[in-house]
Amino acid sequence: MSDKSTNISILLLYALVVCLPFQSYMYDKFLGEGLNPINILMLLILGAMFSRKTIMCKDYKTVRILLVVFLLISIVSSAINLNVFSQFEFIVMWKRYFLLMLLVFVAYRVVSSEKEFNTITLIVSIATLIVAIQLLKNTYEYRNVFFKDWMKYGGVFGEGGENDLGAFLTMNFFWFLYWYFESRTSMVKAAAIFGGAVTLFACLFCFSRGAYVGLAGGVFWFGLRRSKLIWVVLLIAAITIPIWAPTSVKTRFDSLTDSNKVEKDASAQSRLILWGGALKMSADHPFIGVGPDNFSDRITDYISMPAGWPKVSHNMYLRYMAELGFIGGIVFFVLILSLIVKGNKLSKISTGWAKNWSTSYTSFIISVSIANWFGDRFIREELTGYIWIISGMMLKLLAMQGQEEQKAVPAKASSIYRFSS
């Protein structure tokens, strides 16, 4: 393949990474609808990704099988449940929720050098900082609105998108840690500290318990693998919240720890009831589920819901089990678990920048996987686009590290032979 076509494929991927978090500003903004920039870029990049030769590895093949099986299940479930919506709506819905998974294959084939890894990681970091600053700006403008009244965030995730924003900021926080530990210059380290601090502060104003727990899980793993200093820093920050945090944030943290808080009890109760309904739904449709995006329409068949309760699953894994059947839900869970395992494997076998990057990746995927136990965040293009692109990059880096190890073995054997001779 020519260098020109190769360059086009990586430039298209860069453009997609830039556009994904800001798709809500575009006309026909959802991926499933119209010919918006995201749709156009997806079509172009799917065609251009074969311009690059690539290496294969067992880890990638395993994830590829899981992805293909999951996508086939989603298509079958969608097709069988066509009575719920028209064929056009089926195509639109499937594109919006599942097409982005193909970005794993795209990133694996297209990204192939340290420069390309760092460029995409830098774009993600800058986009995250922009989102965090925008959230803080909007929060200040609506500072008299209490969190439970749905902060009017607007912008990236639209009004009421605080849980999605929380997951987005939580998972991408770990790329600032990558820049801090990878950089050798004080300026970059200072920029990484600033970006990470702003992102964490903005995350507090999402008031998302799932994001808080996901952040804790990712930080725990990062400290375990890279630096326990982060445990100390965040522990001090958490302990001193009553001193420096705004009233709305302190109130939210009180609702997490005080069992007498009515808001906490009502919220927890609603989740338990919804989870129970999801289990009943999946038991009633164990093989193909009720079809993608039909959870909200069918949940009232299984539980009684007071007026005003949101008809969402609050658990991505249970949602897929209800919508795609037991097999679909299990395959998705195994897919996410395999990404965590392979990220951990990469952090163990890699060195230098690759080790720092893979450590941040594993914290990234751990945090968002935990957040999805408390919400269904994989239905947002802004979120899932980054997850699948960066996961494809992780698998490619794993293949590259394996290739380097294979080259090192003959060289080592040759040196031993010369010494013995």
Q: Domain limits of the chain?
A: 3-420
pLDDT in tens, 294-315: 888 888 888 887 766 777 888 9
Most confident segment among 13-17, 190-194, 298-302: 190-194
Confidence of residue 249 (pLDDT cuts 50, 70, 90): low
Cα three-residue angle 393-210-266, rounded to 5 degrees: 160
**Which of the two residues, 381 and 24, has the higher pLDDT score?**
381
pLDDT range class, residue 37, cuts 50, 70, 90: confident
pLDDT at residue 209, rounded to an integer: 82
pLDDT value of position 199 = 95
pTM of the model: 0.87
Lowest-confidence segment of 135-139, 161-165, 252-256, 341-345 by average pLDDT: 252-256
Confidence band, pLDDT 50/70/90 cuts, at residue 206: confident
- pLDDT, residue 420, reads 47
Q: What is the largest CA-CA distance in the chain?
A: 84
Residue 421's pLDDT is what?
A: 47
pLDDT attached to residue 117: 97
Which of 1-15, 62-76, 154-168, 374-388 reaches the highest mean pLDDT? 62-76
Q: What is the pLDDT of residue 87?
A: 63
Alpha-carbon gap, residue 226 to 311, rounded angstroms: 40
pLDDT band at 383 (very low <50, low <70, confident <90, very high): confident
More confident of the two residues 254 and 413: 254
**CA 57 from centre of chain:** 23
| pLDDT tens-digit map of 61-108 | 999 999 999 999 998 988 887 655 566 667 777 777 888 899 999 999
Among 107-116, 282-291, 339-348, 407-416, name the one with the lowest average pLDDT.
Answer: 407-416
Can you read off the two tokens belonging to residue 394?
């992780």
Supply the pLDDT for residue 413: 46
> Average per-residue pLDDT in the chain?
82
Compare 31 and 320 and report the one with higher pLDDT: 320
